[in-house]
Chain A
Amino acid sequence: MKFKARFFSGESLEATAAVLDLRETVFEIRSLDGRILFSRPSKDACFLFADKSGDRVDIGVIGEKDYRIIVEAPEVRDILTSFLPQIAAAPRGQGWGFGLKISAGLVGFMLLLGVAVWQLERIVPALIPDEYARDMGLNIANEYIEETGGQCKNAKGTAALQLMVNRLVGSGGGARGMKVRDLTVRVADSPTVNAFAVPGGQIVLFRGLIKEASSADEVAGVLAHEIGHVYHKHPLRGLTRSVGLSIITTLFSGSNMSELTQQLIVSGFSRSMESDADMEALQMLGDANIDPEPLAGFFQRLAEKYDGNLMAALSFVSTHPASAERAEKIRLGKRPDKIFSPVLNAEQWQALQNICPKVDKKDADKKDTEDEVTI
Chain B
Amino acid sequence: MTTPSNLSSDIASADHTDHHHLFEFTGEAAEMWPIIFKNLVFNILTLSLYRFWARTNVRRYIWENTKFKGDPLEYTGEGGELFKGFLIVLLFVFLPLIGLAVWAQLLIAKGNAGLGASLLFGVYMSFLWLVPLGIYKAHKYRLSRTRWRGIRGALEGSGTGYAWSSFGYFFLIGITGGLAFPFVENALWKKMINKTSFGDEGFRYDMPPGPLYRAFFAYLGFGFLGFIAFAVFGGFSALSSGGSIEGGAIVGFFIGYIAMLFSFGIGYAFYLHRQLIHFWDNTHYQGCRFSFTGELGDMIKMYIGNFILIVVTLGIAFPITQMRFVRYVMDHMKMVGPLDLSVISQSTEEEPSFGEGLAEGFDMGSI
Contacts and interface: CB of A to CB of B under 8 A. Distances in A.
A265 interface: yes
B366 interface: no
A265 to B, nearest CB: 7
6 contacts: A18-B11, A93-B79, A106-B49, A243-B102, A255-B363, A257-B98
Interface in A197-228: none
Interface stretch (B146-154, B211-219, B225-233, B328-336): B146-154
Interface residues of A, number: 61
Given A2-B2, A135-B110, A265-B109, 20 more contacts: A2-B1, A2-B4, A12-B342, A12-B345, A13-B341, A17-B12, A32-B11, A51-B72, A70-B71, A72-B16, A73-B1, A100-B42, A135-B111, A250-B90, A250-B94, A254-B51, A254-B365, A255-B363, A256-B363, A260-B98
A10 B111 contact: no
Interface string A17-46: 111000000000000100000000000000
Interface in B275-323: none
Nearest to B98: A257
Nearest to A51: B72
Interface string B80-116: 0000000000100011011001101110011100000
Contacts of B361: 254, 256
Q: Which secondary structure dominates where chain B touches chain A?
A: helix
B102 A257 contact: no
Contacts of A260: 98, 101
B363 A17 contact: no
A139 interface: yes
A106 B43 CA distance: 10
A310 interface: no
Interface stretch (B53-61, B157-165, B236-244, B256-264): B53-61
Contact of B78 (A9, A92, A110, A243): A92
Ranked 9 nearest A-B pairs via Cβ: A13-B341, A14-B342, A68-B150, A10-B346, A8-B150, A106-B46, A17-B11, A106-B49, A135-B110
A264 interface: yes
Interface of A: 1-4, 6, 8-15, 17-19, 32, 48-49, 51-52, 58, 66-68, 70, 72-73, 75, 91-94, 96, 99-100, 102-103, 106-107, 109-110, 132, 135-136, 139-140, 243, 247, 250-257, 260-261, 264-265
B345 A10 contact: yes
Contacts of B71: 70
Nearest to A198: B109
B175 interface: no
Contact of A257 (B94, B106, B346, B360): B94
Nearest to A49: B64
Given A257-B94, A261-B101, A49 B26 contact: no
A216 to B, nearest CB: 33
B48 A4 contact: no
Contacts of A11: 345-346
Contacts of A106: 46, 49-50
A15 B50 contact: no
A139 B98 contact: no
A12 B14 CA distance: 16
A370 B325 CA distance: 54
B33 interface: no
B316 to A, nearest CB: 16
